[in-house]
Amino acid sequence: YIRDAGQSEFLESVAEVLESLVPVFESNKKYIEVFERLVEPERQIIFRVPWVDDKGCQQVNRGFRVQMSSALGPYKGGLRFHPTVNLSVIKFLAFEQTFKNSLTNLMMGAGKGGSDFDPRGRSDGEVMRFCQSFMTELYRYIGPDTDVPAGDINVGAREIGFLFGQYKRLANEFNGVLTGKDLRWGGSLIRPEATGYGCVYFAQNYCNYKKTTLTGKKCLVSGSGNVAQYTTEKLLDLGAIPITMSDSSGYILEPNGITRKDLEFIMDLKNNKRGRLSEYLNYSKTAKFVENKKPWAEPADYAFPSATQGEVVYDDALTMAKNNVRGIFEGANMPSTREAISVFKKSNMMFGPGKAANAGGVAVSGLEMAQNSQRSQWTREIVDEKLSFIMKDIFDMSLASANDYGLQDDVQQGANIAGFLKVAESMIQQGIV
Ligand code: NDP
């Protein structure tokens, strides 16, 4: 801990897992040493990213890649471009990724990367030059059998394209070094939808277990990016009623539910026009926009935090408990603080932690890697079926691990335990490396 002083996000994520693993450490002390090794990334790369903006001025950003664990396969995890990115954020994401990737049962180690670059207000040309400069350094450390990055916040189809183009040019190889690629050059069907769809599949499994349903239930969704959009779409498919979406400037409430047509407008606004969610009011006569607030105080049955870390704090959780929200399923990584999680548990809410509930994205990235290795492309139906199966498996495994350790129905603790044990046993077998 002293070594990582000041890395608040990383320490928070480690503390959350550490608490859950106490029964494992008590059952066998050998796991304590493994954990000590696991919290130290195998490799951390920090680099300068210089580029020239449209005015001809020099800009300098900082790039990161944290290669956390290769116990189960090549490092795998997304790239985030956001001004809040620093080493602590990337390390927490890489740490979470370790357990998440383990839960998918695909052969993937864990990593995460990104930059403090802010793409907001930047032209396509500026984003391209930034991506090219970023990859000019990163390409030395990655490869289809070494480390396979993907997207995350502000790294979508456009950025993956620019990054791949530059990698190909430098490495002189066309290979599966990145996932989230366009369908026409190696991407997988359902990859864009996978995190959101997967999160709703996870919620559906949890609801089935609790003998309840999503159908007809009001849902709060935060965020309006990739995860939030496809969470909303799948909720609509299952007859649920999503009533909110948000961005960093506030949230929209559509009291009678966001329809497919509304969602189409939001997707076009966010993905093509790169606009702000407040502009939704120019389109809808029934919606309200609440500036600089999160949607958690709106009465609803379920919540799907799908924007960013730390977006559900203790007071939000208390409000949700008071409003009788029955389940929280995390599309984002670590959106709920530990204090918020303790309220969910005390209030007997269903709680699907990010590393289990949002594992669908990386799972389909794993399937994209498999398709690239085969040089083939599976149908939408096949990928969706595999995704749905993997999400059910993650839920079942998390529940089973909780019950093995006498932690009745504690899916959060179960997910940490199941994810950890597989990595830990692999690390032990591979020796102290
Ligand atoms: P996008 O960039 O597509 O969307 C992010 C959304 O969250 C936007 O609506 C954005 O609003 C909002 N947001 C971002 N940062 C903040 C902030 N500091 N405060 C308030 N709102 C914010 O990202 P994704 O949808 O891909 O990612 C969302 C979350 O899901 C992240 O936690 C990510 O790590 C996680 N995740 C993503 C996966 C994927 O496959 N994409 C896989 C697993 C997890 P604005 O436009 O105003 O910035």
Please state the domain extents for the chain.
41-175, 194-357
- The DSSP 8-state label assigned to residue 271 in this structure reads I
Equal fold, 41-175 vs 194-357 = yes
Which residue's CA lies nearest to atom 44 of ligand 1? 332
Tell me the CA–centroid distance for residue 403 and ligand 1, in Å. Answer: 33
Contact 113, 86 (CB under 8 A): no
Look up the CATH number of domain 41-175. 3.40.50.10860
In single-letter form, the type of residue at position 26 comes to E
Is the predicted pLDDT of residue 324 greater than 80, yes or no? Answer: yes
Pocket probe mutation, ligand 1, options 227, 296, 365, 367, max atoms within 8 Å of Cβ: 227
Q: Is the CB of 192 under 6 A from ligand 1?
A: no
Distances in Å between the Cα of 294 and the Cα atoms of 21, 277, 339 are 31, 13, 17
Task: Determine if residue 105 is left, alpha or beta; phi over 0 gives left, psi from -120 to 50 gives alpha, anything else beta.
Answer: left
Token couple for 143: 């490869």
Element (H, E) at 221: strand 218-221
Distance from C-alpha of 145 to C-alpha of 326, rounded to nearest angstrom: 42
| Whether residue 153 has its Cβ less than 6 Å from ligand 1 | yes
**Does 419 contact ligand 1 (Cβ within 6 A)?**
no
- Is the ipTM value over 0.85, yes or no? yes
User: How far is Cα 412 from Cα 410, in angstroms, rounded to an integer?
Assistant: 6
Ligand 1 centroid to residue 307 C-alpha, Å: 4
Give per-residue pLDDT as tens, 384-430: 999 999 999 999 999 999 999 999 899 999 999 999 999 999 999 99
Which residue's alpha carbon is nearest to atom 33 within ligand 1?
332
With cut-offs at 50, 70 and 90, classify the pLDDT of residue 346.
very high
Is 427 in a helix, a strand, or coil? helix
Q: How far is the CA of 228 from the centre of ligand 1 (A)?
A: 8
- Ligand 1: centre distance to CA 35 (Å): 29
* b/e map 55-64, b = 16+ CB within 10 Å: eeeebebebb
Question: Tens digits of per-residue pLDDT, 129-177?
Answer: 999 999 999 999 999 999 999 999 999 999 999 999 999 999 999 999 9
How far is residue 289 from each of residues 278, 280, 285, 379, measured CA to CA in Å?
6, 8, 11, 39
Q: What whole-number distance in Å separates Cα of residue 85 and Cα of residue 283?
A: 33
Q: In the block, which residue shows the tokens 């509930």?
A: 357
User: 244 CB less than 6 Å from ligand 1?
Assistant: no
CB-ligand 1 contact for 186 (6 Å cutoff): no
Cite the active site residues.
112
Q: Is 24 a pocket residue for ligand 1 (Cβ < 6 Å)?
A: no
d(CA 292, CA 290): 7
Q: Average of pLDDT values for 192-206? A: 98
**10's tokens:** 């990383």
Q: What is the pLDDT of residues 351-391, one digit of tens each?
A: 999 999 999 999 999 999 999 999 999 999 999 999 999 99
For the cut 80, the answer to whether the pLDDT of residue 1 exceeds it is: no
User: For 72, which DSSP code?
Assistant: S
Q: Percent of the chain having pLDDT more than 70?
A: 100
Atom of ligand 1 nearest to the CA of 358: 43
- Residue nearest atom 23 in ligand 1 by C-alpha distance: 153
Per-residue pLDDT band for 98 (boundaries 50, 70, 90) equals very high
Question: CB–CB of 271/261 below 8 Å?
Answer: no
Q: Is 225 in the pocket of ligand 1 (CB under 6 A)?
A: yes
- How many angstroms separate the alpha carbon of residue 12 from the centre of ligand 1? 19
Mean pLDDT of 242-252: 98
Please state, rounded to an integer, the average pLDDT across all residues of the chain: 97
Upper half-sphere CA count for residue 150 (Cβ side, 13 Å): 29
Atom of ligand 1 nearest to the CA of 154: 2
Q: Output the six-digit token pair for 373.
A: 């290795």
Q: Which CATH architecture has domain 194-357?
A: 3-Layer(aba) Sandwich (3.40)
Does residue 195's CB lie within 6 angstroms of at least one atom of ligand 1?
Answer: yes
Q: Given pLDDT bands bounded at 50, 70 and 90, which one contains residue 39?
A: very high
| C-beta of 334 in contact with ligand 1 (< 6 A) | no
- 15 CB neighbour count, 10 Å cutoff: 12
Three-state DSSP class for residue 20? helix
Residue 348 has pLDDT above 80, yes or no: yes
Give the closest residue (by CA) to ligand 1 atom 27: 153
CA distance 195 to 234: 11
Q: Give the pLDDT of residue 260.
A: 98
Q: Tell me if 111 sits within 8 A of 141, measured CB to CB.
A: no
Least Cα distance to 361 among 149, 198, 228, 159 occurs for 198
Q: Is the pLDDT of residue 193 over 80?
A: yes
Q: How many helices (H) and strands (E) does the chain have?
A: 15, 12
pLDDT at 368: 98
Test site for ligand 1: of 99, 116, 152, most ligand atoms within 8 A of the Cβ? 152
CB-ligand 1 contact for 352 (6 Å cutoff): no
**CB atoms inside a 10 Å sphere around CB 377:** 15
- Residues 380 and 187 sit within 8 Å (Cβ to Cβ): no
pLDDT of residue 2: 82
Q: What is the mean pLDDT of residues 91-98?
A: 98
Distance between CA atoms of residues 84 and 152, nearest Å: 13
Percent of the chain as helix, strand, coil, to the nearest 5: 50, 15, 35
